[in-house]
Amino acid sequence: DSGVTQTPKHLITATGQRVTLRCSPRSGDLSVYWYQQSLDQGLQFLIQYYNGEERAKGNILERFSAQQFPDLHSELNLSSLELGDSALYFCASSAGQGDSPLHFGNGTRLTVT
Amino acid sequence: EDQVTQSPEALRLQEGESSSLNCSYTVSGLRGLFWYRQDPGKGPEFLFTLYSAGEEKEKERLKATLTKKESFLHITAPKPEDSATYLCAVQGRSSGNTGKLIFGQGTTLQVKP
């Protein structure tokens, strides 16, 4: 058990809808990362927050947004969903801004129908 | 652009048959190379971090090594419970002081009894 908690585990929704994925980092970790994993793309970095502030941005679509709250949990919001957004979404956390190994949760499987 | 290529894509071994997985990387200033193990339906589990050429790390039947262009994950006398997808990731200077990792596509290992 990595200590990173993601909810929900599964999410099925229709095209055009909006969903929110939630992540609680390991106790004491200040950084939260979001990754998308699809069969053809592998693990792709979306965004990193450190202590409430955005630190790094990857190939995150404009329809996607994230935030980290004062209690350090994070939410990833996906809107105007398309079939191609179906994937596993992983949250990871680390102690520092950039030199710690990342510890991953077990992901949220999103299916857009 | 930082890139990671893993080979082979899939590997089948008999129990006890040792082998190696390869991770070739191109990065502008390596800050760290990471190995993860991912079981079906789970998030990646951290195994090792390597920082400089010549460095080696071991954990049970696994040994990771690093050169200036590639890393190897050696599996000695594997057991069926070693079956998983092994992911390699790099953190380069272009990521600044962030924890952004670039992942390879992974090698799926199956160990038969």
From chain B, pick out residues whose CB is under 8 angstroms from the CB of A90: 43-44
From chain A, pick out residues whose CB is under 8 angstroms from the CB of B36: 104
- The residue among B36, B87, B42 whose CA lies nearest residue A6 is B42
Percent share of chain A, pLDDT over 90: 87
Q: Which of residues 20-49 of B touch A (CB under 8 A)?
A: 31-32, 34, 36, 41-46, 49
From chain B, pick out residues whose CB is under 8 angstroms from the CB of A1: none
Does B96 lie at the interface with A, CB-CB under 8 angstroms?
yes
Reported as type and span, the H/E element at residue B63 is strand B62-66
Average model confidence (pLDDT) across chain B = 94
From chain A, pick out residues whose CB is under 8 angstroms from the CB of B105: 42
Percent share of chain B, pLDDT over 90: 84
Does A58 lie at the interface with B, CB-CB under 8 angstroms?
yes
Model pLDDT for residues B54-102, shown as the tens digit of each residue: 999 999 999 999 999 999 999 999 999 999 999 999 998 877 777 789 9
- Tell me what pLDDT residue B88 has: 97
Contacts for A96 with CB less than 8 Å, ≥ 6 apart: A30, A31, B99
- Tell me what pLDDT residue A109 has: 97
- Tell me what pLDDT residue B37 has: 97
For residue A69, which amino acid is it?
Answer: F
Does A51 lie at the interface with B, CB-CB under 8 angstroms?
no
Query: How far apart (Å, rounded) are the C-alpha atoms in residues B105 and A42?
Result: 5
- Tell me what pLDDT residue B28 has: 86
Model pLDDT for residues A36-59, shown as the tens digit of each residue: 999 877 899 999 999 999 999 998
- Tell me what pLDDT residue B78 has: 97
- Verify whether the Cβ–Cβ distance B41 to A101 is below 8 Å: no
- Tell me what pLDDT residue A96 has: 83
Does A55 lie at the interface with B, CB-CB under 8 angstroms?
yes
- Exposure of B111 by Cβ count < 10 A (0-12 exposed, 13-18 middle, 19+ buried)? buried
Model pLDDT for residues A85-106, shown as the tens digit of each residue: 999 999 999 998 777 789 999 9
Residue with the two structure tokens 């004491």 = A28
Is residue A26's pLDDT more than 90? yes
